[in-house]
């Protein structure tokens, strides 16, 4: 079962450059979360801070009682073994076959026999749909296949926490849709806590239980997906609509004058109505996601603390699900 990751008051700077400050959030055990944010807002730095590879100046990241920021290096090293990481650039070794790339963490971190390694690697290769390609070099396959190989490698040590940094970058829309389904199926199979950094709005709309967003050195929001998807925060609506008009600029944030000019020209061009599309379900034949029941309890328990639009969306979602589960029974006496 997945493990909760609790982030408390995290602040990170490189020299004088502050990346983000006072970031607090909890990745609920076994749930899927997505982190959004314009380029350069520190999403990759955040992932690296969760596994203790970067050390924020303030705050804690608690996993099973171990603080990945200020804890003992020994404990951090052990806790890091719970993670599976899929890097932004795939990060495969170019001179190794896919098989050897995926086997690498097993050969590095365990003393398993080669026959056992073969069994485990082939199982992951099948899971990500790369059967038959295991003998190829990374340079001989497409970018989408390399992505999936990176995911297979992230999964080979049976991680309880999976971090994916832009798993969709460089994928076509169809491959991205398959990837979204793969992530949900993966969660149903292994019940790992998952955090996905992405710029892809389809993934954001259909995959996660929870969503957050970084902007201007802050975590703008983090919570149940419905909160971000119904948010009126200008930076959130601009990002979700992929508009030029709004606080997010090409290089950095825009200045006040540019914003005011835009507000004038953008007036009377409202975004389309916002519809919350249903979250993906695991593929037929897979078990239901264990996190769904836990999430329902958790979210219904916090309903009073959420904005009205998010509350309405959550109630609507769960009402629809309840209706779908209720099989209509014929009324006594034949009726109709
Ligand atoms: N090791 C480092 N030393 C100094 N600065 C760094 C280091 N790593 C990242 N940065 C800086 O931190 C900022 C955030 O970088 P990060 O890679 O986390 O952004 P991001 O949100 O992942 O962007 P993208 O969406 O483009 O991947 C950048 O300004 C980057 O230059
Ligand atoms: Mg990044």
Q: For the chain, give every domain's residue range.
A: 1-82+162-223, 91-158, 232-264, 290-324
Between CA 236 and CA 220 the distance in angstroms is 8
- Residue with CA closest to ligand 1 atom 29: 40
User: Which of 62-66, 241-245, 265-269, 309-313 has the largest mean confidence?
Assistant: 62-66
Query: In what helix (H) or strand (E) does residue 220 lie, and over which residues does it extend?
Result: strand 218-224
State whether the beta carbon of 218 lies less than 6 angstroms from ligand 1.
no
CB-CB neighbours of 39 under 10 Å? 10
Task: Note the ligand closest to the C-alpha atom of 35.
Answer: 1
Tell how far the Cα of 170 is from the centroid of ligand 2, in angstroms. 14
CATH number 3.40.718.10 is the correct assignment for the domain at 1-82+162-223: no
- Residue with CA closest to ligand 1 atom 2: 14
Tell how far the Cα of 42 is from the centroid of ligand 2, in angstroms. 7
Q: Return the pLDDT at 312.
A: 92
From 39, 40, 168, the mutation candidate for ligand 1 (largest count of ligand atoms within 8 A of CB) is 40
pLDDT in tens, 43-91: 999 999 999 999 999 999 999 999 999 999 999 999 998 999 887 666 7
Q: Return the pLDDT at 142.
A: 85
Tell how far the Cα of 35 is from the centroid of ligand 1, in angstroms. 15
Q: Which one has a higher pLDDT value, 206 or 260? A: 206
Beta bridge partners of 197: 35, 165
State whether the beta carbon of 56 lies less than 6 angstroms from ligand 1.
no
Between CA 130 and CA 99 the distance in angstroms is 10
3-state SS assignment for residue 65: coil
The rounded mean pLDDT for the chain is 88
State whether the beta carbon of 44 lies less than 6 angstroms from ligand 1.
yes
Q: Return the pLDDT at 239.
A: 85
Query: In what helix (H) or strand (E) does residue 23 lie, and over which residues does it extend?
Result: strand 17-27
State whether the beta carbon of 18 lies less than 6 angstroms from ligand 1.
no
User: Residue 33's closest CA among 183, 218, 182, 149?
Assistant: 183
Tell how far the Cα of 47 is from the centroid of ligand 2, in angstroms. 9
Q: Token digits for 70?
A: 């200020």
The mean per-residue pLDDT over the stretch 329-333 comes to 60
State whether the beta carbon of 19 lies less than 6 angstroms from ligand 1.
yes
Region of poorest pLDDT, from 52-61, 234-243, 325-334? 325-334
The mean per-residue pLDDT over the stretch 300-306 comes to 95
- Residue 283 DSSP code: P
Contact 206, 280 (CB under 8 A): yes
Q: Return the pLDDT at 89.
A: 64
State whether the beta carbon of 40 lies less than 6 angstroms from ligand 1.
yes
Residue 128 has pLDDT above 70, yes or no: yes
Residue 221 has pLDDT above 60, yes or no: yes
- Residue 31 DSSP code: -
State whether the beta carbon of 37 lies less than 6 angstroms from ligand 1.
yes
Beta bridge partners of 33: 195, 210
State whether the beta carbon of 43 lies less than 6 angstroms from ligand 1.
yes
Q: Which one has a higher pLDDT value, 272 or 103? A: 103
- Residue with CA closest to ligand 1 atom 17: 44
Residue 195 has pLDDT above 80, yes or no: yes
Task: Note the ligand closest to the C-alpha atom of 38.
Answer: 1
Contacts of 126 by beta carbon, 8 Å cutoff, 6+ apart:
none
Residue 32 has pLDDT above 80, yes or no: yes
Ligand 1 atom having least distance to the Cα of 214: 21
From 35, 43, 86, the mutation candidate for ligand 1 (largest count of ligand atoms within 8 A of CB) is 43
Contact 34, 199 (CB under 8 A): no
Q: Return the pLDDT at 248.
A: 84
Residue bearing tokens 């944010």: 37
Between CA 296 and CA 133 the distance in angstroms is 40
Region of poorest pLDDT, from 32-41, 44-53, 218-227, 239-248? 239-248
Q: Return the pLDDT at 332.
A: 62
Task: Note the ligand closest to the C-alpha atom of 214.
Answer: 1
């Amino acid at each position: 079962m997945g493990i909760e990751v609790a982030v408390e008051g995290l602040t990170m700077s490189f020299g004088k450059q502050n990346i983000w400050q006072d970031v607090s959030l909890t990745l609920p055990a076994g749930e899927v979360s997505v982190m959004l944010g314009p380029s350069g807002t520190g999403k990759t730095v955040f992932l690296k801070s969760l596994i203790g590879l970067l050390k924020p100046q303030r705050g804690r990241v608690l996993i099973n009682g171990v603080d990945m920021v200020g804890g003992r290096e020994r404990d951090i090293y052990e806790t890091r073994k719970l993670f599976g990481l899929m890097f932004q650039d795939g990060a495969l070794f170019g001179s190794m076959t896919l098989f050897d790339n995926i086997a690498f963490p097993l050969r590095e971190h365990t003393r398993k026999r080669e026959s056992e390694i073969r069994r485990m690697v082939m199982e992951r290769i099948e899971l990500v749909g790369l059967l038959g390609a295991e003998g190829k070099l990374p340079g001989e396959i497409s970018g989408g296949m390399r992505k999936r190989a990176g995911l297979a490698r992230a999964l080979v040590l049976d991680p309880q926490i999976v971090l994916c940094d832009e798993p969709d970058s460089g994928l076509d829309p169809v491959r991205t849709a398959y990837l979204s389904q793969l992530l949900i199926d993966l969660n149903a199979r292994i019940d790992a806590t998952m955090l996905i950094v992405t710029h892809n709005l389809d993934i954001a709309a259909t995959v996660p239980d929870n969503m957050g967003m970084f902007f201007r050195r802050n975590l703008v929001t983090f919570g149940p997906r419905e909160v971000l998807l119904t948010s009126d925060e200008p930076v959130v609506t601009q990002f979700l609509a992929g508009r030029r008009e709004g606080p997010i600029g090409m290089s950095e944030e825009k200045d006040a004058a540019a914003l005011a000019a835009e507000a004038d020209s953008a007036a009377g061009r409202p975004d389309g109505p916002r519809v919350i599309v249903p979250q993906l379900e695991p593929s037929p034949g897979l078990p239901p996601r264990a996190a769904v029941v836990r999430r329902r309890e958790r979210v219904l328990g916090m309903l009073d603390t959420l904005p009205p639009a998010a509350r309405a969306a959550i109630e609507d979602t769960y009402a629809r699900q309840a209706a779908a589960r209720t099989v209509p029974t014929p009324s006594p006496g034949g009726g109709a």
